[in-house]
Structure 1
Amino acid sequence: MSSRDILKAKMSSRDLPEDVIMEILSRLPVKWLLRFKCVCKSWYALITNPDFINKHLTWATSHNPRRGVFLTCEHEITRTPWVSLRAYETLEVSRYVDISQFFPHDIDDLAVYGPCNGILCLLGGFEDRDDDDDRDRSNGLVLWNPATRESKALPVIHRPPDVPTTFSFNFGFGFDPKANDYKVVRILNFRSLKCEVEVYSLSTDSWRVINPSLNPAYRVSSPRFPSYSNGVHHWWACERRNRDHRLLLSFDMSNEVFQETPLPPLSERPSLFEAIAVINDSVALVSMYHGGESKCYDIWVMNECGVKGSWTKLFTIRPRPQLSNLLELRDGGLVLLRNENGWLVVFDPRTREQRDLGIYGNSFQVVSFTETLVLLNRSRECAPATRSATRSATRPATRSATRQVMRWL
């Protein structure tokens, strides 16, 4: 029985216990719950209650009933990011997103970090500016919940006055389960001589510098695929003067420390690139190399973080020659690739069947996420309603609430 059938059956009752109402509502899609907030005051208090949001999050992440896809590509004419939200299975457009609403200036580049509990971290690169007052605005960060459309711009990161002209930076985004807080980490490397790490906490809405003892000789690569899992964000890294010294760099969001794990030895064929990905909550290494007429991808899975030799080769993807750019590892072993003509294709490595999706672009970034109710602006959270208050508010509204709900079903 679907959630809709359950709701129809239960709401036909004249009076429902509040725990039954909570159980039913916690299994419904976010777009329904956003509407149901208008049914009555008690439902608004329930749906915006942090305990209910966590219950809905647990159901959504464990059963994975509804997923969406964030897809960004470069516009053919303006060369600016073009963003759409799509259905997971078919990649049909749900809606297009005006990315300018998130940033104070026009951006010419967009990177996406996450997802984490349905939240995405957007990094927008602004056009080069000569005004010194804008030197701290070369990049903007925004947290965004695509399901609720709620967003939060992060404070500007002010560079130190003695910052060298040559530097590199990388970001990571995740959840601190001990503090019940969302965090963004920025790794800033100055000419391979100094490394500075800053952490943003959503609970305090501020940045702070930490001392992680990170080796400044490391070159950290920006993630190509979602690289966060279970309270830890991961990057591929190597030593600048010794590229054979490759490692997995992991940042624990709770302890705020880095951990290093050596990567598996290179194969006889040199890699064209390597990247870290998360597959079914497991940390994986994706290694691309030339395999005859086409490019091949070896997928390694890490068994234990921090342990040398804990990698196991899972499988190899051998696409057809015209399929070159791996974009996403999907459920059921399917992969999403971009072909040589710029079109997106779903490919099954086992049967070697492919399905054209009719989506064209110069470059793509694809991120699948679970729809959740997670709030970004904590001030809007409602205090947990008392049991007596919920009961007294629910009963008088049950009949009118039933009529309104049935109109939406």
Structure 2
Amino acid sequence: MSSIHFPIEILYNILGRLPVKEIIRFRCVCKAWRDLVIYPNFISTHLNLQTDDSDRCLLQYKAGPRFGGKDFFVAFNARNFAENSNLEVPFSCGTNYFEMVGSVNGLLCLSPSSTLFGRTLYLWNPSIWKLKILSGSCFRRQIEKWQTDFIIGFGFHHRTNDYKIVRIMYLTEIYKREPPRVEIFSLARNSWRKVGNNSWFYTRDMSSTVVVNGCVHWFAFRINDVYSNYILAFDFGSEKFGEITLPNYLHDGDSQSHGYELEVSVAVLRESLALIVSCYKTHLNGCCNIWVMKEYGMVESWGKQYSIPNERIFRCLGIVNNRDLMLDAGDEKGVISYDLDKQDYNKPLVFDEDLDELVTFRESLVLYEEGFRLTPRKDLLVEGGIHLGKRKRSVFELLQQKWL
């Protein structure tokens, strides 16, 4: 049957609701269907139509050396947190394990761990087994000359329908005299470009995928004043940095001023910028407060929306489903979740004690025409179902080892 009998809007509406695996199968129906999956508009339509939470999952990364094998992810159902399956990482980074930069629209961004973090980035779509390696830089000579710390921001810019990575480089030998180096990678352009500096801020987190209003955000402080806390924002559209003043969370009447330790992180809650303040002390109960900026950019719109007491909370792992606050309650209770709508705790979850990273993931066709195609069964690269020869495999291995 020819696709000429179907208006393109109907095709998008029907095929865009199918799982990725079925869409790939239906490419053999006709040439028009075969080419459909490479169109950016169809890829966007498919993402927008995947509104069912049952299609989403949570991924917990497990480093191979710790578990006697290869690196893999454990997939959990995003609604009931039941374990579904394991997802093996079919490539290596030359170090003991990866660091998770983030997950955006079916793309996982990974980086080598420890001191090599940020030098090489891996964009991987496990739904279609496509991998793209970002090993270049606009500042290669400076990186080779100085010891360098990297800060990564990863997100999707809706207005340009583009996936972007901003990388801030702190040359530790000279950063007090010179501004950090900043560059941005655009998947649409497939290249790195230099952008302006970040006004001498240093972020407290190595990476962020907290994107609100087209900007990615980090909890940060000024380099010349470690006690000054702000939210550093980078606008993917204008490619400029800005700062957002924090709410007065240190003097909100809670127990933070009585010797409790604080852990502060930035998050997204129902498309609004949020600040999660975990307050804890050894052998004593803690609390977790969530501040929300109701109008983006308006400092006076900060308000404490949730206060979660009476539990021994050591660490907040983030918010999933726009509702569930994931909490590390220590060895005694492991990982628990708090339903922000019901304002009640759920039963302890099945995540491992050493939970480092937990990201939300859903299937997509993003990266279909980019990078290498991998096979889930072997550590060989394949292209169009045919195994690559030794030369192409050696190129892949060189790209992995470059900058390491």
- TM-score, scaled to structure 2: 0.75
Q: Does 1:121 align with 2:109?
A: yes
3-state DSSP class of the match of 1:20? Answer: helix
Q: Does 1:148 align with 2:139?
A: no
Name the aligned partner's letter for residue 127 of structure 2. A
Q: How does 1:76-155 map to 2 (within 5 A)?
A: 76-77=66-67, 82-99=72-89, 101=91, 103-115=92-104, 117-125=105-113, 139-155=119-135
- Tell me the CA shift for residue 169 of structure 1: 1.8
Gaps of 5+ in 2: 373-404
The structure 2 residue matched to 1:360, chosen from 352, 362, 381, is 352
3-state DSSP class of the match of 1:33? Answer: helix
Instruction: Report the counterpart of residue 151 of structure 2 in structure 1.
Output: 170
Q: Is the 8 A contact 2:131 2:370 kept in 1?
A: no
Cα distance in structure 2, aligned partners of 1:262 and 1:337: 26
The structure 2 residue matched to 1:293, chosen from 281, 284, 287, is 284
- Tell me the CA shift for residue 376 of structure 1: 5.1
Cα distance in structure 2, aligned partners of 1:377 and 1:192: 42
Instruction: Report the counterpart of residue 47 of structure 2 in structure 1.
Output: 57
What's the C-alpha RMSD, in Å, of the aligned pairs? 3.3
- Tell me the CA shift for residue 70 of structure 1: 2.0
- Tell me the CA shift for residue 288 of structure 1: 1.4
Q: Does 1:254 align with 2:237?
A: yes
The structure 2 residue matched to 1:242, chosen from 225, 229, 238, is 225
Distance 1:261 1:332, change over 3 A: closer
Instruction: Report the counterpart of residue 400 of structure 2 in structure 1.
Output: none
Instruction: Report the counterpart of residue 17 of structure 1 in structure 2.
Output: 6
The structure 2 residue matched to 1:265, chosen from 228, 248, 261, is 248
Residues 302-361 of structure 1: per-residue CA shift (max 9 Å, x gap): 23444433311111122522x533213233633222332273333346564432332323
Distance 1:137 1:125, change over 3 A: closer
3-state DSSP class of the match of 1:286? Answer: strand
Cα distance in structure 2, aligned partners of 1:232 and 1:351: 29
The structure 2 residue matched to 1:233, chosen from 216, 230, 235, is 216
Q: Is the 8 A contact 2:272 2:296 kept in 1?
A: no
- Tell me the CA shift for residue 255 of structure 1: 1.0
Q: Is the 8 A contact 2:70 2:89 kept in 1?
A: no
Cα distance in structure 2, aligned partners of 1:186 and 1:169: 7
Q: Is the 8 A contact 1:223 1:275 kept in 2?
A: no
- Tell me the CA shift for residue 211 of structure 1: 1.8
- Tell me the CA shift for residue 188 of structure 1: 1.1
Cα distance in structure 1, aligned partners of 2:213 and 2:25: 31
Q: Does 1:30 align with 2:20?
A: yes
Percent identity between matched residues is: 27
Cα distance in structure 2, aligned partners of 1:152 and 1:167: 23
Instruction: Report the counterpart of residue 133 of structure 1 in structure 2.
Output: none
Name the aligned partner's letter for residue 292 of structure 2. V
- Tell me the CA shift for residue 209 of structure 1: 1.8
Distance 1:376 1:43, change over 3 A: closer
Q: Does 1:44 align with 2:29?
A: no
Residues 257-308 of structure 1: per-residue CA shift (max 9 Å, x gap): 0111111123242551211111121111111113893221111112344443
- Tell me the CA shift for residue 138 of structure 1: 7.4
Aligned residue pairs total 353
Name the aligned partner's letter for residue 154 of structure 1. L
- Tell me the CA shift for residue 226 of structure 1: 4.1
- Tell me the CA shift for residue 139 of structure 1: 3.6
Q: Which moved more, 1:202-211 or 1:286-295?
A: 286-295
Q: Does 1:69 align with 2:61?
A: no
- Tell me the CA shift for residue 100 of structure 1: 5.0
Q: Is the 8 A contact 2:119 2:135 kept in 1?
A: no
Q: Is the 8 A contact 1:74 1:361 kept in 2?
A: no
Q: Does 1:180 align with 2:188?
A: no
Q: Is the 8 A contact 2:289 2:308 kept in 1?
A: yes
The structure 1 residue matched to 2:367, chosen from 361, 365, 375, is 375
Instruction: Report the counterpart of residue 192 of structure 1 in structure 2.
Output: 176
The structure 1 residue matched to 2:194, chosen from 195, 200, 209, is 209
3-state DSSP class of the match of 1:290? Answer: strand
Structure with larger Rg: 1
Instruction: Report the counterpart of residue 375 of structure 2 in structure 1.
Output: none
Name the aligned partner's letter for residue 135 of structure 2. P
- TM-score, scaled to structure 1: 0.75
3-state DSSP class of the match of 1:359? Answer: coil
Q: Is the 8 A contact 2:217 2:232 kept in 1?
A: yes
Distance 1:272 1:82, change over 3 A: farther
Name the aligned partner's letter for residue 312 of structure 1. G
Residues 83-110 of structure 1: per-residue CA shift (max 9 Å, x gap): 2233212334444233351x44244341
Distance 1:17 1:162, change over 3 A: closer
